[in-house]
């Protein structure tokens, strides 16, 4: 009978052709992936504190403007919470550029340029905002699960609170769209 030792179980897998080679500083464990993802999300939330006022200035529906401005206040709190998470895990709060959020924000700016001021632009702002919310919901959900797996219960609770707020923002945007904006935009045709 052949014996197996721990070295065989923890050996790095051989890299197959066509598989992306990791960078020299690539995450090797879940903790590193969690921390790297936090930096990414921290950048994303800080970027949103700059993007949301632009969306609010370009919206015409008072209900939409209020929803965006209320979410801006929440987003500023999300930044503060992420700083607390970094503190709880004993790491400095630093950002890492989030390519996904950068792309979503740029797409939102594109919608502003491609729509006339009014209800059609408002519908576009809602669409862009919901794409951002869905990205945040996915990310906060993933990081909350990582925190739970890593035994970081207080961190998981903080991330869960923000996740719930992101879901609430998405729900509110849907209500604004369905109850007013989308109907008005369709009538404007």
What pLDDT does residue 185 have?
Answer: 87
CA–CA separation, 12 and 28 (whole Å): 10
Global confidence as pTM: 0.86
**How many domains does one find in the chain?**
1
Residue 63 inside a domain? The answer is yes
pLDDT in tens, 73-127: 999 999 999 999 999 999 999 999 999 999 999 999 999 999 999 999 999 999 9
In a domain, 17, yes or no: no
- Asked whether 49 and 76 are in contact (CB, 8 A), the reply is yes
Q: What is the pLDDT of residue 66?
A: 96
Q: Is residue 8 part of a domain?
A: no
> Would you state the pLDDT for residue 189?
76
Residue 137 lies in a domain: yes
Cα gap 55→61, rounded to integer Å: 11
Domain residues for 85? 30-187
CATH number at residue 179: 1.20.1260.10
Rounded-to-integer distance, Cα 171 and Cα 178, Å: 10
Nearest Cα residue to 136 out of 109, 108, 169, 107: 169
Residue-level pLDDT at 91: 97
Q: How far apart are CA 135 and CA 156, in angstroms?
A: 18
> How far is 184 from 59, CA to CA, in rounded Å?
14
Q: How many CB atoms lie within 10 A of CB 132?
A: 26
Residue 18 falls within a domain, yes or no? no
Residue 39 in domain: yes
* 49 vs 51: CA distance, rounded Å: 6
- Tell me the pLDDT of the chain (189 aa) as tens digits: 555 555 555 556 666 778 877 776 766 789 999 999 999 999 999 999 999 999 999 999 999 999 999 999 999 999 999 999 999 999 999 999 999 999 999 999 999 999 999 999 999 999 999 999 999 999 999 999 999 999 999 999 999 999 999 999 999 999 999 999 998 988 887
At residue 70, the pLDDT reads 96
Q: For residue 10, is it within any domain?
A: no
Residue 4 falls inside a structural domain: no
For the CA atoms of the chain, what is the radius of gyration? 21
CB-based contact 54:109 (threshold 8 Å): yes
- Residues 6 or more apart whose CB falls under 8 angstroms from that of 64 comprise 122, 125, 126, 176, 181
């Amino acid at each position: 009978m052949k014996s197996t030792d721990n070295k065989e179980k923890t050996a790095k897998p051989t890299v197959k052709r066509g598989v992306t080679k990791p960078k020299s500083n690539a995450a090797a464990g879940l903790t590193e992936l969690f921390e790297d993802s936090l930096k990414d999300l921290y950048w994303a939330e800080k970027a949103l504190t700059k993007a949301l006022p632009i969306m609010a200035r370009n919206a015409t529906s008072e209900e939409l403007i209020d929803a965006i401005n209320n979410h801006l206040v929440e987003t500023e709190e999300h930044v503060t919470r992420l700083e607390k998470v970094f503190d709880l895990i004993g790491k400095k709060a630093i950002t890492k550029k989030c390519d996904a959020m950068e792309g979503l924000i740029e797409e939102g700016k594109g919608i502003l340029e491609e729509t006339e001021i009014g209800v059609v632009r408002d519908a576009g702002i809602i669409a862009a905002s919901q794409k951002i919310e869905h990205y945040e919901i996915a990310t906060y959900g993933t990081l909350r699960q990582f925190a739970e797996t890593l035994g970081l219960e207080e961190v998981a609770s903080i991330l869960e609170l923000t996740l719930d707020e992101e879901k609430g923002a998405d729900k509110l945007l849907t209500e604004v769209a369905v109850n007013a904006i989308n109907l008005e935009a369709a009538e404007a045709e």
